[in-house]
Amino acid sequence: MRAALWLLALFGVAVATALFAGNNQGSVTLFWPPYRLDLSLNMVVLLLALGFATLYAALRALAALLELPHQARRWRLQQKERAMHSALLDAMAQLMAGRFLRSRKAALGALAQESALARAGATVPHGRQLRALAHLVAAEGSHALQDRTHRDSHLQQSLDHAPLRGTAHEQELREGIQLRAARWALDEREAASALEWLASLPQGAARRTLALRVKLKAARLAHQTQDALDTARLLAKHGAFSAPAAQSLVRGLAIELFNGAHDPAQLHGTWQSLEATERAMPELAIHAAQRLAQLGGDGQTVRQWLLPVWEHMVRAPGTLADHHALKLVRALESGMDALDGTWLARIEAAAQANPRDPRLQYLAGAACVQRQLWGKAQQLLTQSTQQLQDTSLRQSAWRRLAELAEQRGDAGAAAQAWKSAALAG
């Protein structure tokens, strides 16, 4: 369409020229005494057009000639700028390839090219960011080479070129530099220094996944378990871990908190600080209850913490992991002397409702021993010894049977029970 329009315009100009010049009888007379020059109007117009074109071409040629030195200078600066960017890209490529010495050398070359441009009076619009990034790459290479002196020097220069009150890009670059410094401190197992770098980050940057990962490792290294647990919760909410991994991490940190408690009050406060979903974890509830019993805490509180796990095991047999069920039975057995009538009734009802569960039969037999129901205790314990898979529980059942036989004065049955207990191991 555009070509058709140009063609029509060309035909229009040709027609207008033909109409103007074809029948033009005008003339132009130039007097230069004693001479007279007569020219047709068409010739005058043609000469004016040719003169204008010649003058315009001459002026353009003169301008191009005068512009040559400036173009040569711009070309030289452009070559230096390209060399600067090429050196920085090479430094980053060498860094990723693990050639740290070459990477640092290329980064220093980029800085030298930028300095040469500055001395030549050419200002790069992103010069400060480029210098900060080049120093950061040099610091990264120095860190990998364990050259702490050069690393700290380049790190400080990188921070100087990325001011706190700079542009948005400079602030983002500064946050990245601070995160790298925190990770370097963590590599050297300097947890306090890593936490200081993280604390210097703005609030928004400190809640990013990368910063939280570094904080989690630093807090664990510094044995700040509570901070590590809070950070792990944030990472789980951000989806930084898979659900099983997050649950395992939170569970391990909570167990560390339980083990670090030195009195029942501290342990109770730790338990209350957990979220409802965490308190519902069987392993956490059992471990907390066992730890409270070790610290001499209230037995009723111990059983209160164990009650949800117990109800889960009784309500849905087989859904609770075997090692969790074993720990639960051991925890209840350790406090058997302090069990009230409500708990004893729970145990007996659970054993009757699940006659095929040897762990419940064993626990009910231990409860009958506590109530001095010797005959029923012997029956339940004997049944449990035939089905118990856990060696320690089977040994405990045989030992209890041996003690019952000794109380009856049946030396032969006691000897046989003691022998069975020894063989069970």
pLDDT digits (tens, 9 = 90+) for 376-398: 777 777 777 777 777 787 887 77
Helix axes 358-370, 391-408, angle to 10 degrees: 30
Amino acid code (one letter) for 266: Q
Closest by Cα among 238, 227, 166, 165 to 195: 227
**Whole-number average pLDDT of the chain:** 84
Instruction: Tell me which of 106 and 127 has the higher pLDDT.
Output: 106
Q: Which of 10-14, 282-286, 418-422 has the highest mean pLDDT?
A: 282-286
**Does any domain span residue 418?**
yes
Last residue of a domain, one of 338, 361, 382: 338
- pLDDT band of 425, cuts 50, 70, 90: low
Residue 139 scores a pLDDT above 90: yes
Q: Is residue 422, in this structure, part of any structural domain at all?
A: yes
297 part of a folded domain: yes
pLDDT(24) > 70 = no
The tally of domains found in the chain comes to 2
pLDDT reading at 78 higher than 80: yes
Share of the chain above pLDDT 90, in %: 21
Instruction: Place 219 in a pLDDT band, splitting at 50, 70 and 90.
Output: very high
Which of 289, 310, 338 finishes a domain? 338
CA 302 to chain centre: 37
**Under 8 Å CB-to-CB from 251, ≥6 apart: which residues?**
278, 281, 283, 284
Confirm whether 396 is domain-assigned.
yes
| 3-state SS assignment for residue 403 | helix
With beta carbons less than 8 A apart as the criterion, state whether 203 and 220 touch. Answer: no
CB atoms within 10 A of CB 146: 9
Band (pLDDT 50/70/90 cuts) for residue 343 is confident
Based on the fold, state whether residues 332 and 352 are members of the same structural domain.
no
Q: What is the extent of the structural domain holding 404? A: 341-425
The answer on 417 and 349 residing in a single domain is yes
Residues 321 and 289 in one domain: yes
The verdict on 418 and 370 lying in the same domain is: yes
Last residue of a domain, one of 306, 338, 370: 338
Both 332 and 347 in one domain: the answer is no
In a domain, 76, yes or no: no
CATH code of 359's domain: 1.25.40.10
Asked if 297 and 359 sit in the same domain, the reply is no
Distance CA 154, CA 151 (A): 5
Residue range 328-357: average pLDDT? 75
CB 303 within 8 A of CB 343: yes
Q: Where is 65: in which H helix or E strand?
A: helix 41-96
Residue 420, domain member (yes or no): yes
Whether the predicted model's global pTM rises above the 0.75 cut: no
Query: What is the spatial distance between Cα 192 and Cα 182, in angstroms, rounded to a whole number?
Result: 10
In a domain, 363, yes or no: yes
Structure confidence at residue 181 as a pLDDT band (50, 70, 90):
very high
Q: Within this chain, do residues 400 and 415 fall inside the same structural domain, yes or no?
A: yes
CA distance 243 to 10: 75
Q: Does pLDDT of 340 surpass 90?
A: no
- The token duo for 146 is 């364990």
Q: H or E stretch including 38?
A: strand 35-40
The answer, yes or no, to whether residue 337 has pLDDT greater than 70, is no
